[in-house]
Amino acid sequence: MIRKSLLSVLGLTGASAAHADWALNMPKGITELSAETYDLHMMVFWWCVAIGIVVFGVMIFSLFKHRKSVGAEPASFSHSTTAEVLWTAIPCVILLIMAVPAAETMIRLEDSRDPDVSIVVTGYQWKWHYKYQDEGVEFYSSLALPSVEARPKQSGVDPFSVENYLLEVDRPLVVPRGKKVRLLMTSNDVNHAWYVPELAIKKDAIPGIINEAWFRAEETGTFRGQCAELCGKDHGYMPIVVEVVEADAYQAWVDTRKAGDAQVAQMEK
Amino acid sequence: MTTAVADSHEAHEDHGPAKGLTRWLFTTNHKDIGTMYLIFSLVMFFVGGAMALIIRSELATPGLQFVHPEFFNQMTTVHALVMVFGAVMPAFVGLANWMIPMMIGAPDMALPRMNNWSFWILPVAFGMLISTLFMPGGAPASGWTMYPPLVLQTGDAFPFLIFSVHLMGLSSIMGAINIIVTILNMRAPDMWLLKMPMFVWTWLITAYLLIAVMPVLAGAVTMLLTDQFFGTSFFLAAGGGDPVMFQHIFWFFGHPEVYIMILPAFGVVSEIIPTFSRKPLFGHDSMVYAASCIAFLSFIVWAHHMFTVGMPLSGQLFFMFATMLIAVPTGVKIFNWVATMWRGAMTFETPMLFSLAFVFLFTIGGFSGLMLAVAPADIQYHDTYFVVAHFHYVLVPGSIFALMAGAYYWLPKWTGHMYNETAGKWHFWLSTIFVNLTFFPMHFLGLAGMPRRIPDYSTQFTDFNTMASVGAIGFGVSQLIFVYVLLTAKKGAHATDRVWEAPRGLEWTVPSPAPYHTFDTPPKLRVAQESFE
């Protein structure tokens, strides 16, 4: 809470009750690694605040005390080896303190071995395609109809009247809670990026390349994100929705999807 | 024989600028060319600024109000190209043209005809780039980074984009060669390298960066050109190429490029802060080493723009550590400026105000830069408004404020008159308030997860976007005060040779306005400095 209000003071915004939903900071997310990422972010942020207080403090003091209008006489010194060695060495130490935990998190982020569920994510201009490798389920996921109707210029629809405007899809990605989910990202046309802040995942989907990312969601719920790499005119209109459900609900969903797909296949025959 | 030489020399002494349009078309005078660079960059600043205002107007509220998404993408792309290559870079070259010969005691730039050419290429390059707005398929819309495969979907504008980037590169390379040759060969006899003013030093380093990386950019865009028209597959996966390779090549240019835009700014504020603190620059030599160190590091950090492309872990760790290291020499610079102010006797004329705001706000940009260096956190920040906030903090209250500071600082030397100080102060305070109102809320938008380069957004991002848009319009309007200052620049009191109370460079030993030709015979630095005591 203190952190939040400090941030809002920095932003000159004031965290009044009316604006309680103004998100000021990175979400802590729902995975171990998203929490670690958040902690790293806050650690570096607080170091920056501390350094800022010292540097700006000295500078502001100087601005008031060492001005000609209060009769300050200029000194003539132009170097001090001690000071220069100190302010080269101290930042090095601070950087080292930051670098160690950052490297540890980085190593864990890259360890996508032994997943429970593997999903191939393919970017298209301008929608996503998901293919569950072992379950044999696949589908496209596009911007949901209410947003599609509201988005054109002069659509006459107020974006505020659309629930989750531009952040809703027709078919969300469904994943089980507590299981290691590996995403294999690629693209069918241009570069895209799959970005869900609560999962702390942002990975480019690039044609001809398969990238890996992974997460283990610790909470159930609906989590939203967007394409984060400019991919053409509808770059702003290919959201991502991830639904985290309990393992049995997930299995039920897979079964329904399979049955539905079989039905569609039957009808197409 | 000797008389003939003497005669032609006398004739040379006499001639002033030619008359009419040909003066500007054919000029080889560093001051004329400097003026043209500065005016050109100011025009481009307003062109790019107008595009920024289109972007901010569209983003003021959710829903599409004014433009279509494809035009929005053209605006973000051309805004960036115009601001980077048309406003910031030429403005610093303009300052270099005007000031470097006068600061080192040279009569002109070493290669005056090439100087003329490197300027006149620019209007052609930007005429071509801006003409693409009227072509079928519109202007380039793939972002200034021109990532394939998306950039290959550009319409008729594509070859014009590539060719205009080639021309901008050509102009920069020629400008850089000229600056290096001038600095290394034409200094006053007793100005050895470590005696050079900081602005000259930072430009010398910048010029080397330019020569090193502009050809790399030219190579990258040429490969795009052949991929599009000549059947190659450098970046096309279907033909065995690699789209990520473009990003590596582009950012090998692109990261030094950001220092190309900030090192001369360091130089400008390093001139101004000592003058108005009435105290020598603290740690001149360590400033030089820090700038060189930043320049070297800029070559080995490029892939920190690419933490999400799927690099090997070892690569990510290397680029994270190398990037964090940049904080050390950058910190040294900031500490040195603060130490210069410490126990000085400061006054707060407009150039000093812009320089102080530079130190404050560039430091904030530096903090967000340090946060971005931390790779796991960068994965969250990457391609969100946090990045937009970061690079605008280092470019607008960074580079642009330094340019404004430099313009106010040297304007009396150029025109021979004091500018309107009241208007200058208004310009400063309004710019500073609005620049923060524009860019500070973008940090929060980015942290909350708003991606960059989107024309419309979900409703929870509304409030901060509206703030940023109000700030942007205010900032844009405030810049008109600067135009007013320029238009009335010759109405003020006559400036003395030294203009300010305590500047110490050679440029303050010549009359104000600086005559068309200065330093026909090389000055003695020591004599000049003794005259200041």
Question: Domain for residue A214, yes or no?
Answer: yes
- State the pLDDT confidence band at B20, using cuts at 50, 70 and 90: confident
Mean pLDDT of B491-514: 93
Question: Domain for residue A127, yes or no?
Answer: yes
Amino acid code (one letter) for B357 = A
A70/A164 same-domain check: no
pLDDT digits (tens, 9 = 90+) for B167-176: 999 999 999 9
Residue B55 has pLDDT above 50, yes or no: yes
A131/A102 same-domain check: no
- State the pLDDT confidence band at A268, using cuts at 50, 70 and 90: confident
Q: Looking at B143-282, list the stretches that DSSP marks H as alpha helix, in order from N- to C-terminal side.
A: 157-185, 198-229, 243-277
Contact partners, residue B46, CB within 8 Å, separation at least 6: B479
Q: Which pair of tokens denotes residue B100?
A: 């470097």
Question: Domain for residue A188, yes or no?
Answer: yes
Report the percentage of chain A scoring pLDDT > 70: 92
Q: What gap in Å lies between CA B115 and CA A145, rounded to an integer?
A: 58
Question: Shortest CB distance from B69 goes to which of A12, A103, A233?
Answer: A233
Chain-chain contact of A45 with B73 (C-beta, under 8 angstroms): no
Give the residue among B194, B215, B376 at the shortest CA–CA distance from B287.
Answer: B194
- State the pLDDT confidence band at B433, using cuts at 50, 70 and 90: very high
Mean pLDDT of B125-136: 95
pLDDT digits (tens, 9 = 90+) for B480-492: 999 999 999 999 9
Chain-chain contact of B316 with A110 (C-beta, under 8 angstroms): yes
Give the residue among A103, A105, A50, A87 at the shortest CA–CA distance from B327.
Answer: A87
- State the pLDDT confidence band at A5, using cuts at 50, 70 and 90: very low
- Least confident range of A5-9, A49-53, B105-109, B481-485: A5-9
Residue B16 has pLDDT above 90, yes or no: no
Residues A53/A57/A60/A65 CA torsion (nearest 10 deg): 170
Q: What is the residue-averaged pLDDT of chain B?
A: 94
A178/A217 same-domain check: yes
pLDDT digits (tens, 9 = 90+) for B371-402: 999 999 999 999 999 999 999 999 999 999 99
Question: Domain for residue A25, yes or no?
Answer: no
Residues in A closer than 8 angstroms to B360, CB to CB, are: 56, 59
Question: Domain for residue A200, yes or no?
Answer: yes
A100/A213 same-domain check: no
- State the pLDDT confidence band at B440, using cuts at 50, 70 and 90: very high
End of a domain among A109, A126, A144?
Answer: A109
How high is the pLDDT of residue A181?
A: 97
Q: What gap in Å lies between CA B489 and CA A215, rounded to an integer?
A: 61
A135/A238 same-domain check: yes
Instruction: Compute the nearest-CA separation of B435 from chain A (Å).
Output: 13
A230/A262 same-domain check: yes
Give the residue among B110, B118, B97 at the shortest CA–CA distance from B32.
Answer: B97
Chain-chain contact of B328 with A88 (C-beta, under 8 angstroms): yes
Question: Domain for residue A48, yes or no?
Answer: yes
As separate numbers, helices (DSSP H) first and strands (DSSP E) second, chain B gives 19, 0
Q: What gap in Å lies between CA B486 and CA B512, rounded to an integer?
A: 16
How high is the pLDDT of residue B68?
A: 95
- What residues form DSSP beta bridges with A134? none
- In terms of pLDDT, which residue wins out, A264 or B411? B411
Restricting to A residues 117-146, those with a Cβ less than 8 Å away from any Cβ of B are none
End of a domain among A109, A129, A151?
Answer: A109
Residues in B closer than 8 angstroms to A26, CB to CB, are: 380, 447-448
A58/A102 same-domain check: yes
Residue B497 has pLDDT above 70, yes or no: yes
pLDDT digits (tens, 9 = 90+) for A119-163: 999 999 999 999 999 998 999 999 999 999 999 998 889 999 999
Residue B104 has pLDDT above 90, yes or no: yes
A133/A73 same-domain check: no
- State the pLDDT confidence band at B14, using cuts at 50, 70 and 90: low
Query: What is the CATH number for A233?
Result: 2.60.40.420
How high is the pLDDT of residue A18?
A: 38
pLDDT digits (tens, 9 = 90+) for B249-280: 999 999 999 999 999 999 999 999 999 999 99
Could you tell me the CA-to-CA distances from A57 to A16, A62, A244 in Å, in that order?
A: 28, 8, 47
A186/A61 same-domain check: no
Question: Domain for residue A135, yes or no?
Answer: yes
Query: What is the CATH number for A95?
Result: 1.10.287
Instruction: Compute the nearest-CA separation of B161 from chain A (Å).
Output: 17
- What residues form DSSP beta bridges with B346? A67
Amino acid code (one letter) for B168 = M
Residue A9 has pLDDT above 60, yes or no: no
- What residues form DSSP beta bridges with B422? none
Please state the ipTM of this predicted complex. Answer: 0.91
Give the side-chain half-sphere CA count within 13 A for A222. 9
How high is the pLDDT of residue A107?
A: 95
A122/A244 same-domain check: yes
Mean pLDDT of A46-63: 96
Q: Which pair of tokens denotes residue B484?
A: 């007013």
How high is the pLDDT of residue A262?
A: 80
Coil, helix or strand for B449? Answer: coil
Q: Which pair of tokens denotes residue B102?
A: 């006068």
Mean pLDDT of A219-233: 96
CB A178 within 8 A of CB A215: no
Residue A16 has pLDDT above 90, yes or no: no
What 8-state DSSP symbol labels residue A143?
B
How high is the pLDDT of residue B532?
A: 83
- DSSP per position, B123-136: HHHHHHHHHGGGST
Q: Catalytic residues of B, which ones?
A: 79, 108, 144, 171-172, 255, 257, 259, 270, 304-305, 330, 333, 452
Q: What gap in Å lies between CA B259 and CA B175, rounded to an integer?
A: 16
Residue B232 has pLDDT above 60, yes or no: yes
User: Checking DSSP bridges between strand A239-245 and strand A173-176, what pairing results, if any?
Assistant: parallel
- State the pLDDT confidence band at B44, using cuts at 50, 70 and 90: very high
- State the pLDDT confidence band at B11, using cuts at 50, 70 and 90: very low
A148/A219 same-domain check: yes
End of a domain among A54, A81, A109?
Answer: A109
Residues in B closer than 8 angstroms to A40, CB to CB, are: 374, 376-377
Question: Domain for residue A9, yes or no?
Answer: no
Mean pLDDT of B201-212: 97
pLDDT digits (tens, 9 = 90+) for A68-120: 999 989 998 988 999 999 999 999 999 999 999 999 999 999 999 999 999 99
Range of the domain at A248: 117-268
This prediction's pTM: 0.93
How high is the pLDDT of residue B101?
A: 97
Residue A83 touches chain B, beta carbons under 8 Å: yes
Say how many domains are in chain A. Answer: 2
- State the pLDDT confidence band at B31, using cuts at 50, 70 and 90: very high
Give the residue among B231, B237, B263, B203 at the shortest CA–CA distance from B394.
Answer: B263
Give the residue among A246, A87, A80, A258 at the shortest CA–CA distance from A179.
Answer: A246
How high is the pLDDT of residue A22?
A: 59
A172/A236 same-domain check: yes
- In terms of pLDDT, which residue wins out, B34 or A2? B34
Restricting to A residues 198-217, those with a Cβ less than 8 Å away from any Cβ of B are 200-204, 206-209, 211-212
